[in-house]
Homo-oligomer: A and B are copies of this chain.
Amino acid sequence: VVWIDDTAAPLAFCHKPEAAPNQAESTIGELSREFGVTLRALRFYENKGLLAPRRAGNARLYGRRDRSRLSLILMGKKLGFTLAEISAMISADGAAHADGLRLSREKCLEQIHLLEKQQFEIRDALAELWRIHAGLSAGLVPHERPDSVADAAR
């Protein structure tokens, strides 16, 4: 792991290989099963320049380097980054060493703010849904003021 400057630091991948960890090269099907992603996704990532597996004729062969990059991609996705952002974080310096996500503190905070905003929106929606659910459970087949559900929903 190499540190480039004081505003961006690499973040090593955290994948624990479970199946065929010692195998040097995998087919696309093997990698798909190992990481729980579809064949389409792997080809899509390659199309976006995020992966570049060796070719044996037409077939793709993924080595250790490809595995670690895939780990970084999935890590980035779990953190809520777009593939374009992940791409920039992986190959910021020409992909000379692709063993870390180059994430600056600034970018990190920016992402935190984004996710917190989403968190609040989901919190509000959940509160509203619970209110609605309570109204639906309490006021089944009402006869006088069905509008109470609407009132409960503010």
A interface residues, tally (CB under 8 Å): 49
How far is the CB of A148 from the nearest CB of chain B, in Å?
Answer: 10
Q: Which residues of B contact A146 (CB under 8 A)?
A: 1-3, 9-10
Copies in the complex: 2
Q: What are 19 inter-chain pairs, A to B, with CB distance below 8 A?
A: A1-B147, A9-B135, A9-B146, A14-B150, A14-B153, A78-B124, A78-B128, A80-B122, A100-B150, A104-B136, A105-B136, A105-B137, A108-B133, A108-B136, A111-B129, A112-B126, A112-B130, A112-B133, A115-B126
Q: Say yes or no: A3 contacts B142, CB within 8 Å.
A: yes
Q: Which residues of B contact A125 (CB under 8 A)?
A: 78-80, 115
Q: Please report A residues at the B interface, Cβ cutoff 8 Å.
A: 1-3, 6, 9-14, 78-80, 100, 103-105, 108-109, 111-112, 115-116, 118-119, 121-126, 128-130, 132-133, 135-137, 139-142, 146-147, 149-150, 153-154
Nearest neighbor of A146 in chain B, beta-carbon distance: B1
How far is the CB of A135 from the nearest CB of chain B, in Å?
Answer: 8
How far is the CB of A71 from the nearest CB of chain B, in Å?
Answer: 11
Q: Say yes or no: A149 contacts B11, CB within 8 Å.
A: yes
Q: Which residues of B contact A121 (CB under 8 A)?
A: 78
CA distance A118 to B1 in the complex (A): 32
Contacts A1-B147, A149-B9, A153-B14: A115 and B108 contacting too (C-beta < 8 A)?
A: no
